[in-house]
Amino acid sequence: MTVYRDFEQPGRSEAVGANGMVATSHPRATLAALDALRAGGNAIDAAVCAAAVQAVVEPTQTGIGGDCFALLMREGDTAPTALNGSGWTPEAAGLHWYRNNGISEIEVETPHSVTVPGAIAAWEKLVLDHGRLPWDRVLAPAIEAAEDGSCVPERLARDWGKQVGKLTRNPEAARLFLFDGDGPRAGVIHRQPALAKTLRAIAKGGARAFYTGDIADKLVKTLRGHGGLHRPEDFAEFSPEYVTAISTNYRGFDLWECPPNGQGIVPMLMAKALEGFDLSSWRSVSVERFHVQAEVARQAYAERDLFVADPRTGKIPVDWLLSDEHIRGLRQNISLTGRIANIETVLQRPHRDTVFISVVDRDRMAVSLINSVFEDFGSGIACEKTGVLFHNRASSFVLEDGHPNCIAGRKRPMHTIIPAMLAKDGQAVMPFGVTGAHFQPFGQVQILTNVVDYGMSVQAAIDHPRMFARGDTLEIERSVPEEIAVGLTKLGHRVTRPENPLGTAQAIWIDRELGVLRGGADGRRDGIALGY
């Protein structure tokens, strides 16, 4: 018997469609991507189209000054294709330079936090290698949104207003993103003519128009004017990289992720460890489930902070981390009667700002794509003449000689944005992802276990109350009952209620039995899933 949601309670039903589906965190992006599918484009065209639109209409979260990762899986593929679109540091960014200049931390609102933005090069590579539509057609809706303007939705207006201080500290960013010195009210139309001009140049000249020539010169001049080490060749010589996706099995499903320098290994560690527990014997919102997931996560994040970095500068022990022996050791550390007292970890700033896009087309190509400027409005440094605001991804580096994630020239930092793909019997069944930077692995595992262990629809799995444990803090959303908080506190957890909802998620389930697609998008932002 089918179990339906309670239609008298707040919430939404899953989206359904037979020919294609898109799920994003912004209605305009979902509509633009759906139009791309209906115009003959495939899932890659639609995903990049959505990412470009969101780079205009969700500037707190993403932009062409940020990075991108993607997984795509066609019918007949035995593994996803993975693209790493994370940018590198300037060649001059050696540890010695920072030490000689008395810098002990990469502060987020400085040019030293800015790596070369990888998104534009990644988008172009995906469309040219795997898409069907012309490049300029894919970017057209984003250009229109920048030129004609876009209404600011409620959640975005709220987040935007919290960053007035950051934007005020950079006059160019203030002129681009503030309204009489303040954030926008919900419903205000935000126009970005300079960004529209930049996007038109990219639509005509390709990614090369962004990484070389007049646009690149303006970007480098802006960064160097703030004290950055960037040079034109750092932009001109950058390119994204196809990488080999990594996977682990969870209760008969294959969970696919991008390899390091991303943190995709963290949800894999968590899933393998959790497979040793019968989660479904506990309620989905229970002290037992939340405690076990917290204890698994705290260990997995600690190992991320010790090992995950750019594999081009040192070997990452992926096979050992995912080995049965190592996972067994993680499980053995967990007690159902109390919290692990001390777990070594390297604390990172709590960045939470990214967009995730899920698309499946008529031919059942599944795409999981994620794009980000890291913090709200990234570094807060903008190039007014191009409309580009720079991310602050290099703030994830450490300045500790010998650490795998120590900063160096032309190096990519440990990266938080991770698309995910779930497959079964060699076929994609769910492209999915969760935003929220460090929260992303934890959020992915909550979605995964909600679907696999508790049999939830993708929308119910997304709507479900969330928690997040890393280091010494256990955050639980306000939708989690107080008695759960009390029970977790008795086990030794330091329970807090987060200021913001924990991440946002999108997912599409490929229902092969009925031949349809079932989609979900997160109400924690203004997400919407649509199919046709």
Say if residue 52's pLDDT is above 80. Answer: yes
Instruction: Give the strands of the sheet with 494-496, arranged side by side.
Output: 467-470, 473-476, 494-496
Q: What's the pLDDT tens digit per position in 160-202?
A: 999 999 999 999 999 999 999 999 999 999 999 999 999 999 9
pLDDT for the residue numbered 2: 66
What does pTM read for this prediction? 0.96
Share of the chain above pLDDT 70, in %: 98
Domain 243-350+418-531 top-level CATH class: alpha beta
Say if residue 348's pLDDT is above 60. Answer: no
Q: What single-letter amino acid sits at 327? A: I
For residues 232-266, one letter each, b for 16 or more C-beta atoms within 10 angstroms of the residue's C-beta and e for the rest, the string is eebbeebebeebebbbbebeebbbbbbbbbbbbbb
Q: What's the pLDDT tens digit per position in 460-511?
A: 999 999 999 987 899 999 999 999 999 999 999 999 999 999 999 999 999 9
pLDDT for the residue numbered 344: 59
Average pLDDT over residues 272-301: 97
Say if residue 349's pLDDT is above 80. Answer: no
pLDDT for the residue numbered 430: 98
* Euclidean distance between CA atoms 362 and 517, whole angstroms: 10
Is residue 479 classed exposed, middle or buried when 0-12, 13-18 and 19+ CB atoms within 10 A define those classes?
A: exposed
Average pLDDT over residues 86-108: 96
Say if residue 351's pLDDT is above 70. Answer: no
How would you classify residue 227: left for phi > 0, otherwise alpha for psi between -120 and 50, otherwise beta? Answer: left
Q: What's the pLDDT tens digit per position in 12-22?
A: 899 999 999 99
pLDDT for the residue numbered 350: 45
pLDDT for the residue numbered 346: 44
Residue matched to tokens 């306000």: 478
Is residue 350 classed exposed, middle or buried when 0-12, 13-18 and 19+ CB atoms within 10 A define those classes?
A: middle
Which residue ranges does the chain devote to CATH 3.60.20.40? 243-350+418-531
Tell me which residues are annotated as active site.
354
User: What's the mean pLDDT when you consider all of the chain?
Assistant: 95
Say if residue 300's pLDDT is above 70. Answer: yes
Write out the DSSP string of 204-249.
HH-THHHHSHHHHHHHHHHHHHTT----HHHHHT---EEEE-EEEE
* Euclidean distance between CA atoms 333 and 224, whole angstroms: 49
Q: What's the pLDDT tens digit per position in 244-284?
A: 999 999 999 999 999 999 999 999 999 999 999 999 999 99
Q: Provide the pLDDT confidence category of residue 9 given band limits of 50, 70 and 90.
A: confident
Say if residue 345's pLDDT is above 70. Answer: no
Average pLDDT over residues 438-454: 97
Q: Provide the pLDDT confidence category of residue 4 given band limits of 50, 70 and 90.
A: confident
